[in-house]
Amino acid sequence: MRFTPTELTEAELRLQQEVREFLAEELPPGSHEPCLGMAARKDKDFSLKMAERGWVGMALPKEWGGSDRTAVDRFIVVEEMLRWGAPVGHHWVADRQTGNVILKFGTEEQRERFLPSICRGELGFSIGMSEPDSGSDLASVSTKAERASDGWIINGTKIWTSGAHENDWFVCLLRTSPMEDGNKHAGLSQLLIDLKSPGLEISPIPFLDGSHHFNEVTFNEVFVPDTNVVGDLGMGWHQNTTEMAYERGGPDRWLSPFSTVEQLLREAHGTELENAVTELFGELIARWWGIRNLSLSVARLIDTGEAPSVESSLVKEMGTRYEQEVVEKLVHLIDLEYSPDSESLFERLLSQCVVTFPGNTIRGGTIEILRSVASKGLKGLPA
């Protein structure tokens, strides 16, 4: 494991500047309620505008509608969007992981069918991994796909499916052959499933603040054609693990409270700050600078063709805990009874952080699971 320092090239800095100008024009400060990182509003028009610039599915090949850009280019676009609190929810999952999965494991027909519309910002995807009885122990999923003529019949339940009520498709990890003793990773496959399929029922699971992200998705004899199997039958676990490397370690794992901190500085403008508050700003930007450099070096590593799952788990575990630490430091220092309907945007954002950030160290793999992934890759003293 080695995080090699890297820096942006001239061309990459130009992209950064371009994204900043785009955001300043589309979403000038004060014109929108910033989102808190990846839990962003869905705004299809915004996604379409980004796609026009080539910033959705940008690392996918031009042949399939992408821009042949690098993981670092995508990193630059994503970090600017997140720190701005832009409404990137509609294309988020497709851009981060589903496009890669279809490119890497999908058939020519699937690539033609899905990648261009992902890159145009049209299609929204959800993730079909967890089940009521399978969370951290994901390989124990029991939703079954059984053989039918030209396809599969699905029965079972997926849960915590963010955005299923608004999105178009999801990639599901399913059991296509019965669990063998001692090898629970075998017999799993990934299927592309239309969220409007007959027999598929989507029920909301209200989030703790009353908002609607989560759903339970129930399959009652849902038919999925053979042409929607992604990759090889029985290779679902391996494919899913590869997908996770894209999901972890990026700016979405450490930038969520940035717009809140930025807003505090904006609202404090012109007032005399206590030393402790000034020091807090110093402490926060220093650590953000350090974590960003680690995260950027992971993106650079992905561009060399590696799947740095240990490095990305390490960064995600650290980044999501840091997000919570930032909020705790703000709460500790700022003498306010903040409320979700305050006139102050900072207070509204802080209220939202306080209530929702306990989930940051859970979503996409709990930090306990990440520690177990990361610790397997740690090396002791050189021989």
Where does this chain bind other proteins (CB under 8 A)?
A: 1, 3, 5-8, 16, 20, 29, 79-80, 83, 258, 261-263, 265-266, 268-269, 273, 275, 277-283, 285-294, 297, 314, 317-318, 368, 370-372, 374-375, 378-382
Query: Toward other proteins, which CB reaches closer, 208 or 383?
Result: 383
As measured in angstroms, the least distance from the Cβ of 9 to other proteins is 9
Half-sphere exposure of 44 (CA within 13 A, CB side): 10
Q: Which of 144, 140, 141 has the alpha carbon at shortest distance from 153?
A: 144
Sole residue written with tokens 């650590």:
287
In the DSSP assignment, the letter for residue 162 is T
As measured in angstroms, the least distance from the Cβ of 374 to other proteins is 5
Query: Toward other proteins, which CB reaches closer, 26 or 216?
Result: 26
Q: What letter represents residue 85's amino acid?
A: G
As measured in angstroms, the least distance from the Cβ of 334 to other proteins is 15
Query: Toward other proteins, which CB reaches closer, 166 or 325?
Result: 325
DSSP 39-100: SPPB-HHHHHHHHHTT-SSTTS-GGGT-----HHHHHHHHHHHHHHT--BTTTHHIIIIIHH
As measured in angstroms, the least distance from the Cβ of 379 to other proteins is 7
- Region label for 295, one of left (φ > 0), alpha (ψ between -120 and 50) or beta (otherwise): alpha
Query: Toward other proteins, which CB reaches closer, 230 or 374?
Result: 374
Query: Toward other proteins, which CB reaches closer, 48 or 268?
Result: 268
In the DSSP assignment, the letter for residue 363 is T
As measured in angstroms, the least distance from the Cβ of 18 to other proteins is 14
The neighbour count for residue 209, using CB atoms within 10 Å, is 10
Query: Toward other proteins, which CB reaches closer, 13 or 205?
Result: 13
Query: What are the CA-CA distances from residue 169 to residues 111, 139, 191, 334, 348 (Å)?
Result: 14, 22, 10, 43, 33
Residues 6+ apart with CB under 8 A from 172: 128, 129, 143, 154, 158, 190, 191, 193
As measured in angstroms, the least distance from the Cβ of 375 to other proteins is 4
Q: ∠189-206-243 over CA atoms, to 5°?
A: 25
What is the per-residue burial (b if ≥16 Cβ within 10 Å, else e) of 74-93?
A: bbbbbbbbbbbbbbbbbbbb
Q: How far apart are the first and last CA of the chain?
A: 15
As measured in angstroms, the least distance from the Cβ of 152 to other proteins is 36
Query: Toward other proteins, which CB reaches closer, 11 or 381?
Result: 381
Residues linked to residue 218 through DSSP beta bridges, in sequence order: 157, 201
Query: Toward other proteins, which CB reaches closer, 208 or 381?
Result: 381
As measured in angstroms, the least distance from the Cβ of 80 to other proteins is 8
